[in-house]
Amino acid sequence: MESSEDQGAILLIDKPLTWTSFDVVRKIRNLTKIKKTGHAGTLDPLATGLLIVCQGKATKKIEDIQNAEKEYTGTIHLGATTASYDLESEPTPQQDITHLTAETIAQHAQRFVGFIDQIPPIFSAIKVDGKRAYDLARKGLEPELKSRRIEIKAFDITHIDLPVVTFRVTCSKGTYIRSLAHDLGQSLGTGAYLKSLRRTKIGDYSVDHALTPDQFKDTLTSSS
């Protein structure tokens, strides 16, 4: 955690489950009484992990931080799909997965390593004709989203306990891990959705050095 009155502050926060990224910003702003507060890269409410909050003059660094490489860990549920590509919507069973082997799953994961064109989930904050895609999706509409060129630098399957596989991904800015989970299911022919997600790194910043909002509050209390 870096801070100074002149340079502002870069705060590493471990975002709790179900909190929005703005919930975190609002909490930090209220605790510190610093109006100029923003985050350097959204995390979905159902994701946890590293959220970088910048204050004061450090907000000028937000764009550089957003452009940095990201690392995530999490779990993917095979054999079912959801409209949101995660557990925000109800899973629908798709295909039997008993034929899948660890080797097959790992091989299909490797197909996504490199530069790929990825279509974001319709349940995303991307604007379509001036409206958020997730607002349209929640009304039962299907907004048409254009693919984006992103880079998957690593997609490692670290554990398998079917129907759930555990993974680690290193990727570029703009990557949707929910779409990666969905696309892996499409590649395997079984369907899949993102069951859990944790952001562990942004550039050189690690969640190992992050504080939960409550822990951050405690540091302010102890120093006052």
Q: Which residues are catalytic?
A: 44
Residue 203 burial (10 A CB sphere; 0-12, 13-18, 19+):
middle
Cα–Cα distance for residue pair 147/145, rounded to 1 Å: 7
Q: Which amino acid is at 31?
A: L
Q: Strand ranges (DSSP E) for the chain?
A: 2-4, 8-15, 37-39, 47-55, 70-78, 80-81, 92-93, 114-118, 127-128, 131-132, 148-161, 164-171, 192-202, 205-206
**Residue 190 corresponds to which tokens in the numbers above?**
């079984």
Asked, as a colleague might, if the bond just before 163 is cis with ω within 30 of 0, I would say yes
DSSP states along 4-44: ETTTEEEEEEEEPTT--HHHHHHHHHHHHT-S-EEESS---
Contact 145, 182 (CB under 8 A): no
Contact 208, 112 (CB under 8 A): no
Helix, strand, coil tally for the chain in percent (to 5): 30, 35, 35
